[in-house]
Amino acid sequence: MNRYALFLGCTTPTQVIQYELSSRWVCRQLGIELVDNEDFVCCGINQVNLSQEAGLLLAAMNLAFAEEKGLDILTLCAACTGHLAESVERLKNQETRDRVNNKLKKIGLKYKGNAKVKHISKVLYEDIGVDRIKERIKVDLSNLRVAPHYGCHYLKPESAYAGFDDPDNPKTLHQLISAAGAFAVQYETLNLCCGGKSFPVSREVAFYLVQKKLDNLMAQEIDCMVVHCQTCYLMYSDQQKVINEQFKKKYNIPVLLYPQLLGMALGGDPKSDLGLDLNTVSSNNLLAKAGIKRKI
């Protein structure tokens, strides 16, 4: 039985709820049970900027909440995944763990080191597997050419992921897109960061990086981009619109969350199951090309 504590993070359940919606739907279809936990709070990654200790304490608290329920964590956000997984590694040091537990004691918690952290794509890849996903496909997406975007924290720090994928030459998202029946392209700026973590401090950095990738993708024959992190989604989709307005650009690349693409292939309703109507760039052309009659 694949049973996980669902870690929503901050941004998905407030800004990109279509990611949450489609993830829950896809997991239901594939027999992954997601257990909600009201105690989860921010993973702590952004607190690291000002206090590494605060970032580690918040991560340890969330991990301890999952441990209390005897569950591993399934994450949607790449950055939450990276920070929680890196914290698990850091908390293997006994001195660090004792120091953290001394503080957790004051809120009635103890970190024991039992909970694993897995991103939803890793769960789909490892627990379900591409072959079993292929068996479940109902809608043919072979007309679609898709540009994957992995997200830095899905792959790095490598020390937190024990050889799951190769940060310099990643393959798992390509394979998952292929499993959904679409064609995953290779492109020059594949490994380029979305700039999301610099966005609150420097839009200049973030916009430059977003445009560099979008420029590269506009020159490719692709139907959409697929991401599996809501921050990457916001940067390439919502900010695509902002950049179009602000810099008079004409980017027009639909950006889907991976569970939305897989959900299309599994026969999900574009609106009520997958929330495609909530995406900033319309997916209507995409749906038509895939032979899905329902418009959004």
Partner 1 sequence: MKQAESNRGTIRVAKLDPSFKFEVLKHEETQGLNACFACGTCTAGCPVHEIFPEYSPRKLAKMVKLGMRKEVLSNPYIWYCVTCHNCEQRCPQNVKFFNILNVLKNMAAKKGYAPASWVKQTQQVKKTGLIFPLDEALAKKRESLSLPVLKSEGTKAKKLIQLAGLDKIKAEKHS
The residues that touch partner 1, with contacts defined as CB under 8 A, are: 10-11, 13-15, 17, 20-21, 24, 36, 38-42, 45-54, 57-58, 61, 79, 93, 96, 103-104, 106-107, 152-153, 156-158, 167-168, 192-193, 195-198, 200-202, 204-206, 208-209, 272, 275
Q: Measured between alpha carbons, how far is 148 from 124 in angstroms, rounded to an integer?
A: 16
CB of 131 to partner 1, least distance (A): 30
Closer by beta carbon to partner 1, 148 or else 196: 196
CB of 275 to partner 1, least distance (A): 7
List 150's β-bridge partners, or say none.
none
Q: Measured between alpha carbons, how far is 131 from 78 in angstroms, rounded to an integer?
A: 24
Closer by beta carbon to partner 1, 193 or else 286: 193
**Which of helix, strand or coil describes residue 33?**
strand
Residues 6+ away with beta carbon under 8 Å from 83: 43, 44, 45, 48, 55, 59, 153
CB of 286 to partner 1, least distance (A): 21
Closer by beta carbon to partner 1, 124 or else 193: 193
CB of 239 to partner 1, least distance (A): 14
| Tokens read off for 36 | 């909600």
Q: Measured between alpha carbons, how far is 6 from 236 in angstroms, rounded to an integer?
A: 25
CB of 260 to partner 1, least distance (A): 14
Closer by beta carbon to partner 1, 48 or else 179: 48
Closer by beta carbon to partner 1, 179 or else 264: 264
Integer angstrom CA distances of residue 242 from 61, 72, 87: 36, 38, 34
| Tokens read off for 271 | 């609106």
Q: Any idea how long the chain is?
A: 296
